[in-house]
Amino acid sequence: MANKVLVLGEVRDGVLRNVSFEAVAAAKQIADGGEVVGVLLGDSVTQLANELITYGADRVVTVEHPHLKAYTSDGYSQAFLAVYEQEKPEGVVFGHTSLGKDLSPKLASKLKSGLISDVTEIEGSGEDAVFVRPIYSGKAFEKVKIKDGVIFVTIRPNNIKPLDKNASLTGDVASISVDVQNLRTIIKDVVRKATTGVDLSEAKVVVAGGRGVKSSEGFEPLKELANLLGGAVGASRGACDADYCDYSLQIGQTGKVVTPDLYIAAGISGAIQHLAGMSNSKVIVAINKDPEANIFKVADYGIVGDLFEVIPMLIEEFKALKVNS
Amino acid sequence: MNIFVLVKRTFDTEEKIVIANGKIQEDGAEFIINPYDEYAIEEAIQVRDAKGGKVTVVTIGGEDAEKQLRTALAMGADEAVLINTEDDLDELDQYSAAIILAEYLKDKEVDLILAGNVAIDGGTGQVGPRVADLLGINYVTTITDLEIDGTNVKIVRDIEGDSEVIETSLPLLVTAQQGLNEPRYPSLPGIMKAKKKPLAELELDDLDLDEDDVEVKIEIVDIFLPPQKAAGRVLEGELSQQVKELVNLLHSEAKVV
């Protein structure tokens, strides 16, 4: 049976995040021929509606209000629920991002519904869809479904392929007006700390350092490599505990779980807790002086050597590759 | 200040996962307080020490979870509550856990509730925000700094590597992110004292809930381990040659750059 599915388009720095296009693809599968409706919330977002349509949304509903300029769970839940009440969908898809993780449980609670968080794969479609998600930080997986009520899921960035962009697609864009009020949270400031400007959870390439990096300055060549490859810098717990970098960079069972196309582990021994956070990456490269290091067991390619020799050479080789291709 | 901490007993992070008969095997596994909940307990103790009041740790589980509650008491929490669902419920999901916790908390005149931002087993991060919503109080997730002045609260929260500075007020639920503090180890006197601290045990009946109120919304169809990765290739030869080969492999074979 065809379902109507709402997708929250997430806007960051004025542009739609890639995970929103992945969410449209997920919604298509849940909709099973039904309608996919994009939802955009913000102070000025209507101009982004068409892009969501070119990635497969059938139409878009926007709510614009000065109180939606910055995300708050109060503001966004009021606006999203207004759209939900109007559309009465059978499914809802969010990205499993900072925003999605914060907002989705509140909405699920208000809707008295189940919520399947952090989906990496969808099997089947429509009512029969079964959702695959990691448990124990990726040491195992479960397949789950919603027993009854709205099919509400958040999808992990970088796992579900977006549909190809088709600029000729068109669809209706409507706005509804919501009196967003009583925000209990005031955002005073946002301090940018991400080292390369690329979000770790969405990065296609992650260059991560461990204790072998030896100091905060030691992260500089890793940053340079990450920048060159359009990726983000991560770290092991060891590096964070030793104060070489901020905890926000930590990858592992405590910390972020990432699944980039390419994960370069430099000076990381590969404790089981770290492996839980990155072993589902598509291609893993390990660089470590110790040939016995555990990280080589999960690596597709390994180089036994000093990262301070290897990384600069890698940077030169990638630069050469870029020039030649 | 009336402070509550929501905690969960989880597998030790060192544990490998073994599945038999479609279930994760717990025999012989070591259990710990969910690491993110440890930050929540530590923060609760620090707030109480600065502002006065009482810290109560609450968990849902079976008899086995008493051990983790005693550990929290040994760290410095004042009281513990075990909501024992072992006899009443076969399964629990985030929807049902939140209803149980909110039902317990609703008449407690709560000032501050702390929880981990995610449990390292189920990994949904839903229960904290759901509880706050059911109680009608505000929440802030993944916090790395907390300052309380009267009923005003200033918070720094981690948003995918960036930091958001937030102002809000009590009553409030917050979920702890790494970097919030350095959780203490229980001291020997702490462990001795913990044995005498109150640990109450409740069942669904005591909360005026019956099984229908907390029927799960999610069905687990299957649990499986990820496919074992085939052993990779450790490159050989001169280091500069290895690097050239690696870049070549990533470009031509793996096609990731």
Q: What residues of A are in contact with residue B178 (Cβ under 8 Å)? A: 240, 247, 250, 254-255
Domain count, chain A: 2
Q: Out of A118, A247, A302, whose CB is closest to B232?
A: A302
Mean pLDDT value across residues B47-56:
98
CB spacing of B166 vs A185 below 8 angstroms: yes
Nearest chain B Cα distance for residue A287, angstroms: 10
Q: What residues of B are in contact with residue A138 (Cβ under 8 Å)? A: 226
Q: B239 and B180 share a domain? A: no
Residues B158 and A250: their CA atoms lie apart, in Å, by: 12
Neighbour tally for B139: CB within 10 Å: 25
Q: Does the CB of B178 have a partner CB in chain A at under 8 Å?
A: yes
**Mutation site, A142, A241, A290, interface B, largest B CB count within 10 A:** A142
In a domain, A199, yes or no: no
Which range scores top for mean pLDDT: A102-106, A134-138, A320-324, B17-21? A102-106
- Confidence band of B198 (pLDDT split at 50, 70, 90): very high
Percentage of the residues of chain A whose pLDDT score is greater than 90: 89
The better pLDDT of the pair B222, A193 is held by B222
Give the count of Cβ contacts less than 8 A between chain A and B.
269
CATH of the domain at A234: 3.40.50.1220
Q: Which of A1-10, A180-189, A191-200 has the lowest mean pLDDT?
A: A191-200
Bind-site residues of A for FAD: 211, 236-237, 250-254, 267-274, 288
In a domain, A181, yes or no: no
Nearest chain B Cα distance for residue A172, angstroms: 33
pLDDT score of A199: 82
Neighbour tally for B150: CB within 10 Å: 8
CB spacing of A301 vs B122 below 8 angstroms: no
pLDDT score of A202: 84
pLDDT score of B131: 98
Domain count, chain B: 2
pLDDT higher than threshold 90 for residue A137: no
Q: Which residues, including other chains, have CB under 8 Å from residue A43's CB and lie 6 or more apart?
A: A64, A65, A66, A68, A69
Q: What residues of B are in contact with residue A317 (Cβ under 8 Å)? A: 243-244, 246-247
Instruction: Find out whether A314 and A266 touch, Cβ atoms under 8 Å.
Output: no
**Domain range for residue B240?**
231-257
pLDDT score of A323: 86
Q: B146 and B253 share a domain? A: no
Q: A156 and A232 share a domain? A: no
pLDDT score of A42: 97
Q: B14 and B128 share a domain? A: yes
Residue range B25-41, pLDDT digits in tens: 998 899 999 999 999 99
Mean pLDDT value across residues A301-305:
97
Last residue of a domain, one of A137, A156, A175: A175
**Phi and psi for A84 in degrees, rounded to 5?**
-60, -45
pLDDT score of A194: 63
Mean confidence (pLDDT) of chain A: 95
- Confidence band of B231 (pLDDT split at 50, 70, 90): confident
Residues B77 and B57: their CA atoms lie apart, in Å, by: 7
Q: B49 and B152 share a domain? A: yes
Q: Which residue carries 């402070």 as its tokens?
A: B3
Mean pLDDT value across residues A75-96:
98
Q: B63 and B104 share a domain? A: yes
pLDDT score of B2: 98
Phi-psi map region of B21: left, alpha, beta (phi>0 left; psi -120 to 50 alpha): left
| Number of alpha carbons in the 13 Å side-chain half-sphere of residue B11 | 24
Last residue of a domain, one of A175, A196, A227: A175
Instruction: Find out whether B61 and B87 touch, Cβ atoms under 8 Å.
Output: no
Q: What residues of B are in contact with residue A298 (Cβ under 8 Å)? A: 229, 232
Instruction: Find out whether A40 and A49 touch, Cβ atoms under 8 Å.
Output: yes
Q: Does the CB of B18 have a partner CB in chain A at under 8 Å?
A: no
CATH of the domain at A10: 3.40.50.620
Give the DSSP letter of residue A268.
Answer: -
Mean confidence (pLDDT) of chain B: 95
pLDDT higher than threshold 80 for residue A193: no
Q: What residues of B are in contact with residue A187 (Cβ under 8 Å)? A: 164-166
Residue B199 forms beta bridges with which residues? Answer: B80
Q: B160 and B59 share a domain? A: yes
**Mutation site, A98, A256, A298, interface B, largest B CB count within 10 A:** A98
In a domain, B223, yes or no: no
In a domain, A304, yes or no: yes
Bind-site residues of A: 211, 236-237, 250-254, 267-274, 288
In a domain, A139, yes or no: yes
Residue range B89-104, pLDDT digits in tens: 989 999 999 999 999 9
pLDDT score of A195: 64
Q: How far is CA B114 from CA A179, B68, B167, in A?
A: 31, 16, 17
**Mutation site, A184, A225, A295, A298, interface B, largest B CB count within 10 A:** A184
Mean pLDDT value across residues A54-74:
97
In a domain, A186, yes or no: no
In a domain, A184, yes or no: no
CB spacing of B161 vs A193 below 8 angstroms: yes
**Mutation site, B92, B126, B182, interface A, largest A CB count within 10 A:** B126
Mean pLDDT value across residues A220-239:
96
- Confidence band of B230 (pLDDT split at 50, 70, 90): confident
Q: Which residues, including other chains, have CB under 8 Å from residue B196's CB and lie 6 or more apart?
A: none
- Mapping DSSP to helix (H, G, I), strand (E, B) and coil, where does residue A252 land? coil
Instruction: Find out whether B166 and B140 touch, Cβ atoms under 8 Å.
Output: yes
Nearest chain A Cα distance for residue B196, angstroms: 32
CB spacing of A117 vs B126 below 8 angstroms: yes
The better pLDDT of the pair B191, B27 is held by B191
Q: Which residues, including other chains, have CB under 8 Å from residue A314's CB and lie 6 or more apart?
A: A225, B243, B246, B247
**Domain range for residue A220?**
205-324
Residues B60 and B122: their CA atoms lie apart, in Å, by: 14
Q: Which residues, including other chains, have CB under 8 Å from residue B135's CB and lie 6 or more apart?
A: B102, B105, B106, B110, B171, B173
With CA atoms as reference, the chain A residue closest to B171 would be A184
Q: What residues of A are in contact with residue B256 (Cβ under 8 Å)? A: 204-205, 261-262, 282-283
Residues A70 and A73: their CA atoms lie apart, in Å, by: 10
Last residue of a domain, one of A175, A192, A220: A175
In a domain, A37, yes or no: yes
